[in-house]
């Protein structure tokens, strides 16, 4: 039986979720909700489901709803996630929330703790590692082709230039930390997915003159150095349309281990693999990488992959702590973000992110 789904927030991304649910046989989109009547009505007509203008009315009117996508936005593209997500959980619904999980770390901690107490699935749309190259990289790591982590380097953001700069933007971008909070959930999630928990963060945040002149508060350049619990180190460079990215395009991730290195280019496009066994004396010599081109250039393909994984996990009733891209995983990315902000505010000091909530195990399953 298809999972009955509703969506709260029918902007661009709410409609993206809707199109995915319409295409996926594991889901049945039964309702959409937006505070703006025209948006809800238009979506309901397009997807053949009921329209609501108040989430609680929807939850009361349609008790058959099983899961809710929260695709609202707000300051830093996330301040309006907390209330609708908490409300859906309070009505016993599983929730897939957009990223960043929340704009404030206190909200995020409360949301994750509440989903845990309610024993409901809370997932987050951390879609950047639901790609062909990332699935293959997972296999290489699992097979031992990469070995022990030495370093990772992630460059990701938006291509641009001072000529293309269009001004400070809508209220959601009017805090200094709007880029790091709204966007860096993605690269932090990718780094944690491949390398594990981060235990040390040092950050420098900045912006180019064109933004300063325009009194744009956004710190659009994020240079963040991290240490992983496993001893490896990592570097994240993210910028929001201030410059063109060079090698690897707008999204590159290089992961080097003691047995091999892989690099993902443009998120969905290519995976390169350098096998150390192909060189007798590595030194200055690099083997030619083996490159797989996935023939995909549309980043939009990550949405059906990620949302499909959420539906699959619900359908399979996986233990809650095995949910892929969970609320706790999303909380981790926000803890790193807040650690980076603290580091920046203190001149680049080393900050240890707050520990994540403990995993309790699923009492209905005995190991």
Ligand X SMILES: NC(=O)c1ccc[n+]([C@@H]2O[C@H](COP(=O)([O-])OP(=O)(O)OC[C@H]3O[C@@H](n4cnc5c(N)ncnc54)[C@H](O)[C@@H]3O)[C@@H](O)[C@H]2O)c1
Contact footprint for ligand X (CB under 6 A) = 8-14, 33-36, 39, 55, 71-73, 77-78, 80, 84, 98-99, 125, 127, 182
Rounded Cα distance, 125 and 325, in Å:
7
Query: What strand order describes the sheet that includes 27-33?
Result: 50-52, 27-33, 3-8, 67-70, 94-97, 122-124
Rounded Cα distance, 223 and 184, in Å:
11
Instruction: Count the Cβ atoms, other than its own, within 10 Å of residue 1.
Output: 7
Residues paired with residue 257 on neighbouring β-strands, in sequence order: 149
- Token pair in block for residue 335: 């803890």
Q: Is 217 helix (H, G, I), strand (E, B) or coil?
A: coil
H helices present in the chain, as ranges? 12-23, 37-47, 55-61, 82-90, 105-118, 132-143, 178-183, 185-195, 209-213, 302-315, 327-345
Q: Which is nearer to ligand X, 42 or 227 (CB)?
A: 42
Q: Which is nearer to ligand X, 3 or 185 (CB)?
A: 185
Report the nearest approach of ligand X to the CB of residue 124 (Å): 9
Report the nearest approach of ligand X to the CB of residue 69 (Å): 10
Q: Which is nearer to ligand X, 32 or 263 (CB)?
A: 32
Report the nearest approach of ligand X to the CB of residue 348 (Å): 27
- Residue closest to ligand X (Cβ): 11
Report the nearest approach of ligand X to the CB of residue 233 (Å): 27
Q: Which is nearer to ligand X, 20 or 256 (CB)?
A: 20
Rounded Cα distance, 334 and 329, in Å:
9
Q: Which is nearer to ligand X, 146 or 184 (CB)?
A: 184
Report residue 19 CA to chain centroid gap: 19
Cis ω on the peptide bond leading into residue 100 (within 30° of 0)?
Answer: yes
Convert 217-248 to b/e letters by CB count within 10 Å (16 or more is b): bbbbbbbbbbbbeeebebebbbbbbbbebeeb
Q: Which is nearer to ligand X, 256 or 264 (CB)?
A: 264
Report the nearest approach of ligand X to the CB of residue 126 (Å): 7
Report the nearest approach of ligand X to the CB of residue 145 (Å): 29
Residues paired with residue 22 on neighbouring β-strands, in sequence order: none
Report the nearest approach of ligand X to the CB of residue 302 (Å): 7
Q: Which is nearer to ligand X, 140 or 307 (CB)?
A: 307
Report the nearest approach of ligand X to the CB of residue 306 (Å): 8
Q: Which is nearer to ligand X, 141 or 307 (CB)?
A: 307
Rounded Cα distance, 187 and 190, in Å:
5
Q: Which is nearer to ligand X, 34 or 145 (CB)?
A: 34
Rounded Cα distance, 8 and 326, in Å:
19
Report CA-CA distances (Å) from 32 to 84, 93, 315.
Answer: 13, 15, 21
Report the nearest approach of ligand X to the CB of residue 259 (Å): 32
């Amino acid at each position: 039986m298809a999972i009955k789904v509703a969506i709260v927030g029918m902007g661009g991304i709410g409609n993206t979720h809707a199109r995915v649910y319409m295409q996926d046989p594991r889901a049945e989109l039964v309702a959409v909700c937006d505070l703006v009547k025209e948006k809800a009505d238009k979506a309901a007509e397009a997807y053949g489901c009921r329209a609501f203008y108040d989430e609680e009315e929807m939850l009361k009117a349609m008790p058959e709803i099983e899961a809710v996508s929260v695709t609202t936005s707000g300051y830093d593209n996330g301040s309006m996630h907390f209330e609708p997500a908490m409300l859906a959980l309070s009505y016993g619904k599983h929730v897939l929330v957009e990223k960043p999980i929340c704009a404030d770390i206190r909200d995020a901690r409360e949301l994750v703790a509440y989903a845990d107490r309610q024993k409901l699935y809370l997932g987050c749309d951390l879609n950047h590692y639901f790609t062909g190259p990332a699935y293959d990289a997972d296999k290489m790591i699992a097979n031992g082709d990469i070995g022990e982590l030495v370093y990772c380097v992630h460059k990701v953001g938006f291509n641009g230039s001072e000529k293309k700069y269009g001004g400070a933007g809508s209220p959601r971008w009017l805090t200094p930390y709007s880029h790091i909070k709204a966007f860096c959930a993605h690269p932090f999630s990718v780094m944690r997915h491949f390398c594990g928990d981060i235990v040390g963060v040092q950050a420098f945040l900045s912006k180019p003159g064109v933004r300063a002149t325009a009194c744009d508060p956004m710190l659009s350049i994020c240079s963040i150095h991290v240490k992983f619990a496993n001893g490896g180190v990592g570097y994240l460079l993210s910028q929001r349309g201030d410059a063109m990215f060079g090698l690897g395009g707008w999204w590159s991730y290089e992961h080097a281990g003691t047995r091999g290195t892989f690099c993902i280019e443009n998120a969905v496009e290519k995976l390169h693999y350098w096998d150390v066994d192909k060189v007798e004396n590595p030194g200055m010599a690099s083997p030619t990488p083996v490159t797989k081109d996935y023939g995909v250039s549309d980043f939009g393909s990550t949405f059906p992959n990620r949302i499909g994984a959420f539906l699959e996990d619900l359908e399979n009733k996986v233990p809650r702590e095995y949910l892929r891209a969970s609320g706790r995983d999303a909380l981790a990315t926000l803890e790193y973000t807040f650690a980076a902000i603290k580091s920046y505010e203190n001149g680049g000091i080393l900050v240890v992110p707050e520990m994540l909530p403990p995993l309790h195990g699923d009492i209905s399953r005995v190991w």
